Every structure is written in C-alpha cells, then in structure tokens.
Amino acid sequence: MITKYMTGSDLPLNINNTLVRYDDKGKGEIPVIFIHGFPFDKQMWQPQFQFFSKTNRTIAYDIRGFGKSEAGMQMPSIGLYADDLINFMDALEIEKAIVCGLSMGGYVVMNAAVLCPDRFEAIILCDTQCIADSPAVKEYRNKLITKIIAGKKSEFVEEFIQQVFCKESLDHKQHVVEKVRKGVMATSPVSITGSLGAMAERHDMCSQLNKILVPTLIICGEYDIITPPAQSEVILKNIKNSKMHTLKRAGHLSNLEQPEEFNQLMQQFIMELSG
C-alpha cells in the first residue's frame, strides 16, 4: 500500500496561518491523534506514541505556542485551539480520528467534539474537566500570569511540577520529572501566560457534553489534584457512551506516571471499537 501522507517527526503544517509541527508514524485506517496539556508539548506522549505507532497511524502535534509550533498572531483561546485541531485534520485529509487529550488537551477535544461530532470516531479524555474556572481559580491564574511577567518563571515551574506528579512519582521517577521540568522551562513566558488566559476564559462544557455520542474513555490519576477524579465523574455522567478508569499510583500526568497501564487501557478501548 502506498502511503499518501508524510511520516516522520516535527513535520511542518500551516494551520490557521500558523506553522504547526507534528509527528506522524505508523499505519491504520483510523488515525489516533494525541493533544498535550498545559504547558507541555507533544513529547509528553512519547510512551504512547512509541506503543501505538506499531499498530495504528499515530499523530501528536504541538499546540500553537508550545514545543516547536509557532505561536501565531491570534489571541489564544480554547476555541481557537479546537479550530486548529479541525483544521489540522482537514489539512491532513483525516475525515475521522480517535482523539486523545490530556487536561488542556481534553478541553480542546471536548470543544471540537461538541462542534464537529462527525469528525470523531472515539475520544479519550485524560485528567481533565468540563467545568469552567471558578472566580478563585481565575484569580489564581492571574497571579501566575503576574509572577511570570515579573520574570519568575522558574518559581512557577517548580510549583507546577510539585502539583502535576503524585508523591511516588516525584520520589521515584526523577527521570520523568526532569524531562517534564526541562520541557516546561523551555516554553516561552508569552505562550504560558497566553494559555493561562485562554483556560481562565474557557466556557463550561458540562451542559454540552450530551452532544458527544461517540465511545469515550475517561482516564484519571487517583492522586490528580489539578483535575481530580471527581471531575472525571462529572464527565462520565454527562457523556452517555462513556466509561472511566482511575489509574492507581498516578497524579495529573497519568500517561507518564503509569504508561504501561495507560497504554493497555487505551489499547483495550481501541480494540473494542473495531470488535
């Protein structure tokens, strides 16, 4: 079979007048697309990318402003990121995909799946939530923005690292923690503050989730303190065709903290779609 699309790493694509970089590997009828959380990049899907590209066409891209994608000129918003996802699929002539998003990546997937339900074969929502920010969370994000503008990005990164991993990971998975810390440190302050603003302004999606009818897998780390399992249960209640798994010994970055179990759950879910 001749592959019509390019495969490789850091491939360039112009999306909404912005240069976006993506990785594309493996073969399969329905591609699996991974969307990272804030303020990470596509590298956070490495354990999943390696695993799924053996059996599926597997794609991961950097959201505008993160990793190797340009920030573009438009004001960041979750709506814009969701529009980028649909345009990304259009540019690669992907009619339907299985799309997996973690945290902010999950906000993007929920928005896009509500707007364009026909483009999704199934979705995987990891460590995310459908509620909008409360006034207290908005205020917290504004404080973070002020801190970063004041040049204290490393302080922000340290606090963030302590929140995204569970204690066991912080103590025993230093190579993973270090990799994430390096990735976040490399992200530009403008992109970090832009995304904090975008998340603060995002709308509640819980009341719209009934528009999502495709099979949905919800995964959440048991010790996730940013988007706790209780928030995944709200998603579970609002998406009819959904099921949820709580990952033991994981925090907010469940795919990196328990990669084997995460991959197995996702693989089982994908196998059931075709069975």
Which parts of this chain interact with ligand MLT (CB under 6 A)? Answer: 37-38, 103-104, 199, 226
Of 18, 3, 126, residue with least CA distance to 62: 18
Closest approach of Cβ 7 to ligand MLT, in Å? 28
Structure letter (DSSP) for residue 82: H
Give the residue with the Cβ less far from ligand MLT, 53 or 258: 258
Give the residue with the Cβ less far from ligand MLT, 205 or 226: 226
Reduced to 3 states (helix: H, G, I; strand: E, B; else coil), residue 249 is: coil
Closest approach of Cβ 39 to ligand MLT, in Å? 8
Give the residue with the Cβ less far from ligand MLT, 212 or 226: 226
228 contacts 135 by C-beta, under 8 angstroms: no
Q: What's the number of CA atoms in the CB half-sphere (13 Å) around residue 173? A: 23
**Angle subtended by helix axes 104-115 and 189-200, to nearest 10:** 50
Give the residue with the Cβ less far from ligand MLT, 22 or 66: 66
- The CA-atom distances, in angstroms, between 185 and each of 47, 152, 155, 168 are 21, 11, 10, 22
Closest approach of Cβ 141 to ligand MLT, in Å? 8
- The CA-atom distances, in angstroms, between 24 and each of 11, 56, 235 are 8, 10, 29
Give the residue with the Cβ less far from ligand MLT, 173 or 252: 252
101 contacts 109 by C-beta, under 8 angstroms: yes
71 contacts 194 by C-beta, under 8 angstroms: yes
Closest approach of Cβ 100 to ligand MLT, in Å? 13
Paired residues of 102 in beta bridges: 126
Closest approach of Cβ 226 to ligand MLT, in Å? 5
Closest approach of Cβ 245 to ligand MLT, in Å? 19
How far apart (Å, rounded) are the C-alpha atoms in residues 95 and 29?
Answer: 11
How far apart (Å, rounded) are the C-alpha atoms in residues 81 and 29?
Answer: 25
What is the residue whose two structure tokens read 């402003």? Answer: 65
Give the residue with the Cβ less far from ligand MLT, 31 or 37: 37
Give the residue with the Cβ less far from ligand MLT, 55 or 142: 142
Closest approach of Cβ 31 to ligand MLT, in Å? 22
Q: Give the H or E element holding residue 204.
A: none
